[in-house]
Amino acid sequence: MEVTPASPSQGDVVTIRIAAQPEEEVAIIISFSKTLSVVDGKYEWILEDVQVPSTPNRVSVRAESVANVHISTKIIFLPITKSATATDGVVTISQGNVPIGTYDLRLHGYALPNATAVTLNVTASATVKTDSEGIYDYSYNTSNIPLGTFRVEAGSVKKTVNLNEKGSSPPPAHAELAIRDLSVYPPVSSVGSEIRVTAMVINTGERLEDRMIGFSIDREPYTEEQVSLESGESRYLDFSLTGLEEGWHVLTVMDSSRSFVVVPAQTEDTASRVFEQLKGVPSELVADILDSVSPKATSNETARELGLSEAIEVIESAVELGLTRPFSTLLLNMEKDEGATLLISVEPRGGSALLKSMYETDPQSCAALVEAATSLESTVVVEILDLVETDLLSQVLLEIARLPSTPSTVARLLEGMSPERVMAVARSWIDDGHLRELGLVLDEAPEEMLNTVTGNLEKEDQLLMLPHLLPETFAQIDPGLLTLPDLTVIDVSVDRSDAMKYLITVDIRNTGVEPTCVDVTLTVDGSRADTFTVDEIRGEEELTVEFHWEPDAVGGYRIGAVVDGDNDVFEINENDNTGYTDVVVENPRSWTGIYLALGALVLVVAAVAYRKYR
């Protein structure tokens, strides 16, 4: 991964160039922190022209020292606000698959009492695909990133970039040559045979570098090569070693070295004979020597391989001797399906030792190999994983979950493990902030596992995890396992209290188990008319809220009541928060007319009586 410019100023467009396999999907993550001052108990951050260049994507904000957080924007002129309430002053809010476009954002809310500042940790991620040459250029505008450092991750590669103030002087340019991919082949050769040396020299600095590169053997100068490279430019060096005596030798160039051995001319050995020789060989050369058994000619080069049964015998015996690293490197360098076959073919304890060494060597390649092994025989992979420590298990599964389209593989592996192991992984990911990955895995998990994880989490961990689930996944959770409130409108009634005055009664209930405060909003024909704040409604409690309403004119009205209309409360069910009733407002009758009618009736009665009794 290359970040250009290497020392950007705020407002620069940073280009991230990724070199990977052709048409490989790579996850890019950009993260930084922002501190906001608290004014009158509130905090606010306005971000203009935030660009979303690709999908799929996800943005996550973790706020500290806050009571709640709201993120407001517009999508196609439609105002949208997403909110979350903090627990112990901490809350995480996230959104995935934001449509490509440019947005203005307002992030705001209330801070904790007596807090003078709040801290926001922002993480933006996207999955991209390299072209046919394995290259992808990803651009990001730094206008909304605070001064200081921000972190860029592409797959397993991580870099920290310092963002300078506009107009400040960048750090001085420097030149630096580095050696990559130093190789001596074959690592085991006979006296008089040709030994090839290749090495890539790259200029990782920021200006032209022109100098001599020296190679030495056993600390004695052997040859020199002149190189002239611009910044970012690389060149392969290639030459032969001749006239070497038998024995162990070390080739050194700059800070890189490779060991190799020259032996007397000999015939091809069997796998068992090679293994006997391994006991006296430095462990870093074991894989190379193993690779020299049973030569098989191919075009332009000689490939070395063992039969499967012979390889398993050698690997298991070597693991017993503690020679796991060279063999784990061998598995990682093989074709993925072949390496996966070997991993599930050795006995589980040897497989767990190889797994640990592979992860320490290359976490992402290890995850890809375990994923391939799962597709071949998931039961054996579960047996191997059951023998590794919980920390390593969590890390391996996390790397698999971060591979493109593979959270389902993690769900499949967890399904074969004990509930205790499943919960250990879930809690580890929550503690380390890997909530996005946990949500992706649980979205693929069977309902039984989903409810096992949810039911065994503490309230605080549930509140962190649940917002990262898809709505259809959330709907599969048994409501009895959720330590959340669930607000609903039971009834809305309207009674006339005076000529053109009405009393509106709203009955609400918290059918959940967790108390909460909530706003109850009165609407008239869909427009907000009044709001009342209920300071607390306990689990299974029912309350009545009254509103006074004076209509402007006669006619029909739809009276509505909404609890938590701004979605400030995370609930078990958000679909039962509204109730309605219809009312017809008529002209009140005149009391003057009633009095005149009564008077006329009295006169008629009097007249009839007079005629009858006079």
Q: Which residue has the higher pLDDT, 597 or 328?
A: 328
| Rounded Cα distance, 139 and 57, in Å | 14
Which CB contacts under 8 angstroms, 24+ apart, belong to 241-246? 241/184, 241/194, 241/195, 241/196, 241/197, 241/217, 242/194, 242/195, 244/191, 244/195, 244/217, 245/191, 246/191
DSSP state of 284: G
Residue with structure tokens 């022209």?
Answer: 49
Mean pLDDT value of segment 94-106: 81
Task: Name every residue whose Cβ is closer than 8 Å to that of residue 87 and which is 6 or more positions away in sequence.
Answer: 459, 460, 463
Task: Name every residue whose Cβ is closer than 8 Å to that of residue 240 and which is 6 or more positions away in sequence.
Answer: 194, 195, 196, 197
Residue with structure tokens 């979350």?
Answer: 84
Q: For the chain, report the end-to-end CA distance as a whole number of angstroms.
A: 119
Question: Residue 558: which pLDDT band, with cuts at 50, 70 and 90?
Answer: very high
Query: Per residue in 293-307, pLDDT tens?
Result: 333 322 223 223 344
Mean pLDDT value of segment 330-337: 76
Is the pLDDT score of 466 beyond 90? no
Predicted confidence at residue 430, as pLDDT, reads: 92
| Rounded Cα distance, 250 and 183, in Å | 12
Is the pLDDT score of 110 beyond 90? yes
Instruction: Write a three-state SS string for 97-109.
Output: CCCCEEEEEEEEE
In the CATH scheme, what is the code of domain 172-266? Answer: 2.60.40.10
> Which of 95, 94, 85 has its CA nearest to residue 514?
85
Question: Residue 278: which pLDDT band, with cuts at 50, 70 and 90?
Answer: very low
* Token code pair at residue 25: 């999907």
Task: Name every residue whose Cβ is closer than 8 Å to that of residue 589 and which is 6 or more positions away in sequence.
Answer: none
**How confident is the prediction for the chain on average, in pLDDT?**
81
Task: Name every residue whose Cβ is closer than 8 Å to that of residue 602 and which is 6 or more positions away in sequence.
Answer: none
Q: Which run of H or of E encompasses 424?
A: helix 419-431
Is the pLDDT score of 284 beyond 50? no
* Token code pair at residue 442: 């649980």
Query: Per residue in 123-141, pLDDT tens?
Result: 888 888 888 888 888 777 8
Task: Name every residue whose Cβ is closer than 8 Å to that of residue 540 and which is 6 or more positions away in sequence.
Answer: 509, 510, 511, 513
Q: 422-437 burial by CB neighbour count: b if 16+ within 10 A, else e?
A: bbbbbbbbbeeebbbb
| Rounded Cα distance, 131 and 153, in Å | 19
Task: Name every residue whose Cβ is closer than 8 Å to that of residue 303 and which is 6 or more positions away in sequence.
Answer: 295, 296, 297
Q: Which residues face 87 on adjacent strands?
A: 90
Question: Residue 272: which pLDDT band, with cuts at 50, 70 and 90?
Answer: very low
Q: What is the fold, at CATH topology level, of the domain defined by 487-585? A: Immunoglobulin-like (2.60.40)
| Rounded Cα distance, 491 and 444, in Å | 38
Q: Which residue has the higher pLDDT, 547 or 145?
A: 547
| Rounded Cα distance, 68 and 519, in Å | 14
Whether the bond between 146 and the residue before it is cis, its omega within 30 degrees of 0, is no
| Rounded Cα distance, 283 and 294, in Å | 20
Percent of the chain past pLDDT 70, that is, above it, reads 82
**Domain boundary assignment for the chain:** 2-163, 172-266, 487-585
Q: Can you give the length of the chain in residues?
A: 614
> Which of 269, 315, 266 has its CA nearest to residue 293?
269
Predicted confidence at residue 322, as pLDDT, reads: 62
Q: 172-266 and 487-585: same fold?
A: yes
Question: Residue 416: which pLDDT band, with cuts at 50, 70 and 90?
Answer: very high
> What is the distance, to the nearest Å, from the Cα of residue 584 to the centroid of all Cα atoms in its chain?
53
Say whether 511 sits in a helix, a strand or coil.
coil
Predicted confidence at residue 307, as pLDDT, reads: 45
Q: What is the fold, at CATH topology level, of the domain defined by 2-163? A: Jelly Rolls (2.60.120)
